[in-house]
Structures are given as C-alpha cells and as structure tokens.
Amino acid sequence: MDLIREIAGKFPSAVKEVAEYAGEKTLVVEAGQAKAVLRFLKEAAGFDYLADVSSAHWPEEGRIDVVYLPRSLKSREQVRVRAALPEENPVIETVSDLWPAADWMEREVYDLMGIRFDGHPNLSRVLLPEDFEGHPLRKEYPMEGDDEWRNYLPAEEKP
C-alpha cells in the first residue's frame, strides 16, 4: 500500500478512490489525469508491462470505465487503474506512447466500446468492418432479434 499512498500524495486531485480486495489494488482516478498516474507507474515505479486495457459500461450511471492493468515484471506487482468517462463522448489520452502494446488494446476497446483514445497513432476498427455501426460491448447493443445487427454482413452480401 506504500505505492498507493505515494501516488495519492503525488496526485492528490487525481485519485478519487483506492480499493483493495483479495490482494488486488485498484486506483480510481480522474480521467484527465489518468495518463500522468500511469506515466508515474511506468517511469518511477517500474511498471514496465501493460497486461490489459479494457472497459465496462454502466448505462444506469451514464458512464463507461476504461481500465488499465500495469504490472512490474521485477516485483510482480499489479495495480488496476480505472477512470470513468461520460457515456455520450468517451475520450481519454492514449498510453500507446508509454506502452506500445496499448496500441492494439486501445483499438479493440475503441472498436467494441466506442472509447476514443486521443493521440492514438491509428485509432481504427480492428475486429469489425469499418462501416459497422455501433459498439457491440455496450449494454444497449441488441443481443437478439434484428438480423441486420446480430448477423452483420456487408451490404453487398445481404440476402
């Protein structure tokens, strides 16, 4: 917990909440300062590996969380960093310049959830066709019924 206290002291306006459960540490940070906290973790605390970038949609709260899992390969420590974004225009700075592995992870989150990563070198769809409408991991995305959504085919291949 010393690292968490250090981060909270260094970024007092960034850290909104700290949680520890089952040995896992989570920092909830202001979206506008997430990159500064993540840069500190990489450059000052030795978190040299980004294991994952993911997201979660909370429509009842009008937000989408972006979640980072940086790790230190030397100390084997991991910290979850979570930032809440508005559902309507979710934008956060890219961390692909800190961890090159974030490039494809951010593209996947963009493709499936619609979060834009400002400054990303090639923010384009990676799993779905460029003309696909919507983001299928958002909770309002239809799970069944409309074949045009559920069984997407390019226009020239539709029956």
- Predicted confidence (pLDDT) per residue in 95-143, tens digit: 999 999 999 999 999 999 999 999 999 999 999 888 888 888 888 776 6
Instruction: Please say if the pLDDT value at position 42 is more than 50.
Output: yes
Token pair 């963009």 in the structure block, residue: 110
Helix (H) or strand (E) run with residue 52 in it: strand 49-58
The residue ranges of every structural domain in the chain are 2-157
- pLDDT digits 0-9 by tens, 56-97: 999 999 999 999 999 999 999 999 999 999 999 999 999 999
| Fold designation for 2-157 | Beta Polymerase; domain 2 (3.30.460)
Query: Torsions phi, psi of 4, nearest 5?
Result: -65, -45
Establish how many alpha carbons lie within 13 A of residue 5's alpha carbon, considering only the half-sphere containing its beta carbon: 2
Q: What global pTM score does this model have?
A: 0.87
